[in-house]
Amino acid sequence: MQSNSVANTLSTVIFIALINLFIIGLVILCLPSIKMRASFFNLRARINARKKYLLEPLKNNPTAKKYLIGYFISSFIAALSTGGQIFIMANGYPVEATIINCAAYGFTWWFSRTSKLTRNYWEQNKSGYSEFRLSSANVFWLKQILLKTILVDGMIISISLMTYMVCFGHNR
């Protein structure tokens, strides 16, 4: 009886976290960091403006460069460890897989300061851009909160999968 309620609780937590992850992912895609002045179908201008928005603050700021590289690497490792967690757990290492996954999410959280550094650069250099305009500060902070909510959701899913595997896995 107790194991059945634990399994139901874990399944519900994982399901709700996945739904939350999906909804927040869609909302983040709809909230732009910058608004392009080019037309929607002018892809070259949109790509150049996005490239300028990301790379211009890195020219004279080694800290921002370090954070951006760290953000890309930690995001890649987090995505890789999320997908690989099931395979590592299946080989009998659920706790280790969860620690790696949660550490990757933690580093991604830490390096998400990149967007704040980029935003501060463009707020101080208002004359430096004509291809785009920044979204409002409220949209920026909402997007940051939603990004961190996605990271917390990933950790909840990872820990729930580990608990499920430890309690009901085939390698006990």
Does residue 172 register a pLDDT over 60? no
Does residue 109 register a pLDDT over 70? yes
pLDDT attached to residue 56: 82
pLDDT attached to residue 146: 93
Residue 80 φ/ψ region, left for φ over 0, alpha for ψ in the -120 to 50 degree band, beta for the rest: alpha
- Percent of the chain scored above 70 by pLDDT? 95
Does residue 37 register a pLDDT over 80? no
pLDDT attached to residue 170: 59
pTM of the model: 0.84
pLDDT attached to residue 86: 84
Q: CA–CA separation, 87 vs 51, rounded Å?
A: 36
Q: CA–CA separation, 165 vs 94, rounded Å?
A: 7
* Mean pLDDT, rounded, of the chain: 86
State the average pLDDT over residues 116-139. 81
State the average pLDDT over residues 120-141. 81
Q: Contact, 131 vs 38, CB < 8 A?
A: yes
Residues in a beta bridge with 36? 132
State the average pLDDT over residues 90-111. 90
pLDDT digits (tens, 9 = 90+) for 50-94: 888 888 888 888 888 888 899 999 999 999 988 888 888 888 888
